[in-house]
Amino acid sequence: MNIRSLALAPALIIGLAFPAMAERISLSEISRYLNSLTTLTSEFTQVNPDGTVSTGTVYIQRPGRVRFEYDNDSTLVLASGGNVAIFDSKSNGGPQQYPLSQTPLSIILDANVNLGRANMVTGHSEQNNATVVTAQDPERPQNGNIQMVFSNPTELRQWIVTDDSGQKTTVILGEMSKGGSIPASRFSIRSELNRR
């Protein structure tokens, strides 16, 4: 056995010992994937900051629109027209509203996702055969961040939003239906205000 063979032996053993190791998906591929999503509907499980668990259906229409309907609860979260409205079934007042740009979820809903922008991605790793990307709005890092988990081939499986106060909300997606059309009225904050 020559010296070159001896030098290669440890590398071959390491390569054989970890055949199932997945490579992390590139930021450009994840950006391409997110930009290719137009409409998406999925069942979801949400782990709230207080540890309680909610379930429901999420409707996404990029850019800028999302609707979270909760099972067994008339709470509703809508985003459209650059705003987010939370209709809380326990509140007697109107919905809590704020600009979509103040939530890290705006990164997924942006018209042109570019995870290669300077200071946007603060973490990019492979964990348990999934790619985990932590991103923030580089112009508003004080608004928190979103940690997105992707399976391979590239598919968004969950996200964790950490808000400006450090509270974490996890959304785990179920079977997704992509494409098709969702009526614009489903995302209308004004329509929901009138309905209630």
Phi and psi, residue 115, nearest 5°: -75, -5
What are the residue ranges spanned by the domains of the chain? 23-195
Alpha-carbon span 178 to 128, nearest angstrom: 25
Q: Which run of H or E residues covers position 33?
A: helix 27-36
First-to-final CA distance of the chain: 81
Give the pLDDT score at 121. Answer: 95
Say if CB 60 and CB 36 are below 8 A apart.
no
Average pLDDT, the chain: 86
Alpha helices by DSSP H, listed for 20-120, are 27-36, 106-109
From 2.170.190.11, 3.40.50.2300, 2.50.20.10, 2.60.40.290, which CATH number describes the 23-195 domain?
A: 2.50.20.10
Alpha-carbon span 116 to 26, nearest angstrom: 10
pLDDT digits (tens, 9 = 90+) for 104-126: 999 999 999 999 999 999 999 99
pLDDT digits (tens, 9 = 90+) for 27-77: 999 999 999 999 999 999 999 999 999 999 999 999 999 999 999 888 899
Tokens of 195: 């309905």
pLDDT digits (tens, 9 = 90+) for 184-194: 899 998 888 87
Tokens of 171: 């959304």
Say if CB 104 and CB 135 are below 8 A apart.
yes
pLDDT greater than 60 at residue 15: no
pLDDT digits (tens, 9 = 90+) for 156-188: 999 999 998 999 999 999 999 998 889 989 999
Give the pLDDT score at 37. Answer: 92
Q: Give the CA count within 13 Å in the CB-facing half-sphere of 85.
A: 19
pLDDT greater than 70 at residue 1: no
